Amino acid sequence: MAGPPTPAFAQATWIFGGTACPRGAATTLGFTLGGGTHNDLADILQSLTEDVLEGMCSNDVTFTRLDVKRGPVETGPTVTRTLGFPGTQAAPACPPQVTTLVRKENALVTSRRHGRMNWPGVNEGMVTSGGSLDSSFRNDLQSKMDTFYDALITATFVPVVFSTLSSDPTQISEFVVSGRVATMRRRNRA
């Protein structure tokens, strides 16, 4: 797994707990630090998590903490924000191995340089037996991710994908909520 190659980049890691994540869960996202320091980024991400991203998970999931690491990976500093609040989707959540898949789209066409975020605790009532998300529910989640993306761009913390194939991170052009959930058995790759 790649991480921030220089001090101009940072990586955020959301850590989850709760009854829907009995062994914990995490999702990550890379950024440029054009808008300030990794402390500034942590402040903005904490606010956006409370205002927007909490709707990505059921109330069986707890947003435990947010870690923001500035590059380089080996020596850069990390700032931690304790969160401690639940998601806002209704319970019950799907089993822990079922997640809402959000693709990190970019201009490169190879799937090896696309990224994915898996958000735990998707509301079980919003997933069909075939693994599809209810369309209006999916649209609501997409709206949340669009709001999140726009706020990051406005703050000049551009989301990126780190890759072991290149030392140059690739800018994310949009987040796309998949119409199907991801599972441990069937990983959705775009």
Q: Which residues of the chain have pLDDT under 70?
A: 1, 108-113, 184-190
The string of pLDDT tens digits covering residues 76-132 is 999 999 999 999 998 899 999 999 999 999 876 555 557 899 999 999 999 998 999
d(C-alpha 106, C-alpha 126), whole Å: 28
Q: So what's the pLDDT on residue 112?
A: 55
Q: So what's the pLDDT on residue 158?
A: 95
Q: Which two tokens stand for residue 148?
A: 């999140």
d(C-alpha 186, C-alpha 44), whole Å: 33
CA atoms within 13 A on the CB side of 132: 5
d(C-alpha 135, C-alpha 145), whole Å: 15
| pTM summary value | 0.92
- Specify burial of residue 16 (Cβ count, 10 A radius: 0-12, 13-18, 19+): buried
Q: So what's the pLDDT on residue 111?
A: 54
Q: So what's the pLDDT on residue 188?
A: 46
For β-strands 62-70 and 78-86, DSSP reports them as antiparallel
d(C-alpha 184, C-alpha 163), whole Å: 22
Q: So what's the pLDDT on residue 139?
A: 97
